[in-house]
Amino acid sequence: MHVSEPSTNPLKAMIWKLKTSRKIKHFLWQALSDSMATCSRLADRHCGTDRMCPRCGTEEETINHCLFSCPPAIQTWALSDIRYTIISGILPELLSSREF
């Protein structure tokens, strides 16, 4: 059995050093690695054909859409203590560039 080495990418490597639960670390790593099971990614892998967001139906369901631009995500950020304006400006750019 081959075990992959941890990413040498600085941002991804930083995730594993966070003082938080493994579930949170894994979620963040999946988001930054574009390996979450969004409709868009599933369609790319021939596991479905509908790329549209099942929650709002207005955009393709990507990681950025799920986490930042889908109306339920926007509502969630509005209710959280985390500054949405900062998160929505920085993280989508990181997630879309994949050049961390």
Report if residue 24 sits inside a domain. Answer: yes
pLDDT one digit per residue (tens) for the chain, 100 residues? 555 555 447 888 888 888 889 998 899 889 888 889 999 999 999 998 899 999 999 999 999 899 889 999 999 988 887 765 555 555 655 556 554 4
Report if residue 4 sits inside a domain. Answer: no
- Tally the domains of the chain: 1
* Domain carrying residue 74: 10-97
Report if residue 49 sits inside a domain. Answer: yes
Report if residue 1 sits inside a domain. Answer: no
Report if residue 5 sits inside a domain. Answer: no
Report CA-CA distances (Å) from 69 to 1, 77, 87, 98. 39, 10, 12, 19
| DSSP states along the chain | ---PPPP--HHHHHHTTSSS-HHHHHHHHHHHHT-S--HHHHHHTTS-S--B-TTTSSSB--HHIIIIISHHHHHHHHHSSS-HHHHHHHHHHHHHH---
Is this structure's pTM higher than 0.75? Answer: no
Report if residue 93 sits inside a domain. Answer: yes
Report if residue 3 sits inside a domain. Answer: no
Tally of residues, the chain: 100
